[in-house]
Amino acid sequence: MILRRREVLYSALLGGTAHAAPGSASAGMSWQDLEPGSLRHVDLEVPGGIDAGTFIPATIFRGRQAGPVLSITAGVHGYEFPPILAAQRLLKSLSPGLLSGTVLLVRIAHLPAFQRRSLFLNPIDGKNLNRVFPGRANGTQSERIAEVISREVIERADLHIDLHVADGSEDLSPYVRVYGGLLAREQFAKSKLMGLAFGFPVAVLYRMETRQQVDGGRSCNRQAVAGGKPTLLVEMGAAGRRDERWVAGIENGILNTLRALGMLPGPLSEAVAPIWCDGERSVVSQHAGILYPAAVAGQQVRAGQVLARITDYAGAPLKDYLSPADGVLLHLQAAPPISPGEEIAAVAPLLNEAL
């Protein structure tokens, strides 16, 4: 039920001879039957139901030595190409022969959206995969994809990294979101370790204090948080583009994180002290019209600073939208069209405590 018969096992030595993988179609993302120091490609089956079935391209890297299990998801939004391309590169740059532990890599979580170049929504059921976790085995296609990822990938892992880029036409500066707070206190130390290993200029502490934060329109990363897994959300790049800087930045961040976790040998990349921020605050449009950005993503802004201006369709000013706090501008809508209720920007207030 879980596995299509397209498994290939590779030697830990790059360029080694491929041969058929042992195991049965019920193996899923289990690695216990996999030879230490090798990898296996798996097409996780999402059976048909009230709509069409699909599959999830994934890879299991079983290290030569024992260690933690890290799950990584790319392509939860199928139009977010840099994480998907970084996942493809890991097939060559991550050697299971050097690995201590196991990596469960979801290379394209949302294949129908990737194939149709759909920005947010599943072209089959019209839902946002990143809002339906943990999913339902008898639900629509998005819900069934989420259920398979939750059960076969996240539940098997000790830690989780979820890879994303800017939404649509946003301008975004790279940042990581580290989970802590009342409901993720035990996860924070390792989440922070993974976040620092990426070496991004901004790290955002996201405090999980209420069940609503965990459960409301649950995302892939919050599914891992709900399961008690130290979790990192990575944001780097723009949707629909394949810039080498973004692909390499994600790939190198993952490899350095594996070194920081003791799962790969070798020295860590030079440490970068990020600007620490405390959550994020949205700036939402009250108008329909044309938007003119007045700041850039990654910029430190002051409370009351103009972030964007909106005019009507004849150019008459409607409103200046201001920063709600001193902090870092994480992302800003760059496209001219804007409608009421749409997010213009997100500002991460500066953290006023030592971590």
**Which percentage of the chain shows pLDDT scores above 90?**
85
- Over the Cα atoms of the chain, what is R_g? 21
pLDDT of residue 9: 41
Q: Has residue 18 got a pLDDT over 90?
A: no
Q: Has residue 340 got a pLDDT over 50?
A: yes
Contact assessment for residue 238 and residue 168, using Cβ atoms and an 8 Å cutoff? no
pLDDT of residue 16: 32
Class of domain 282-349: mainly beta
Asked: is 8-275 a CATH 3.40.630.10 domain? The reply is yes
Pairwise CA distance, residues 86 & 257, whole Å: 14
pLDDT of residue 50: 96
More confident of the two residues 18 and 184:
184
Q: Has residue 40 got a pLDDT over 90?
A: yes
Give the residue among 42, 17, 16 at the shortest CA–CA distance from 29.
42
Structure confidence at residue 10 as a pLDDT band (50, 70, 90)? very low
Pairwise CA distance, residues 226 & 49, whole Å: 27
pLDDT of residue 61: 98
Q: For residue 318, report the phi and psi dihedrals to the nearest 5 degrees.
A: -110, -50
pLDDT of residue 13: 34
pLDDT of residue 25: 35
Dihedral, 80, 38, 41, 164 alpha carbons, nearest 10 = -10
pLDDT of residue 27: 65
Structure confidence at residue 217 as a pLDDT band (50, 70, 90)? confident
Answer yes or no: same fold for 8-275 and 282-349.
Answer: no
Any idea which of 11-15, 135-139, 140-144, 332-336 has the lowest mean pLDDT?
11-15
Residue type, 70: L
The structural domains of the chain, with segments of one domain joined by +, span 8-275, 282-349
Pairwise CA distance, residues 131 & 120, whole Å: 10
Structure confidence at residue 4 as a pLDDT band (50, 70, 90)? very low
Q: Has residue 207 got a pLDDT over 70?
A: yes
Contact assessment for residue 326 and residue 314, using Cβ atoms and an 8 Å cutoff? no
pLDDT of residue 19: 30
89-126 confidence digits (pLDDT tens): 999 999 999 999 999 999 999 999 999 999 889 999 99
Contact assessment for residue 331 and residue 301, using Cβ atoms and an 8 Å cutoff? no
Contact assessment for residue 128 and residue 141, using Cβ atoms and an 8 Å cutoff? no
pLDDT of residue 24: 31
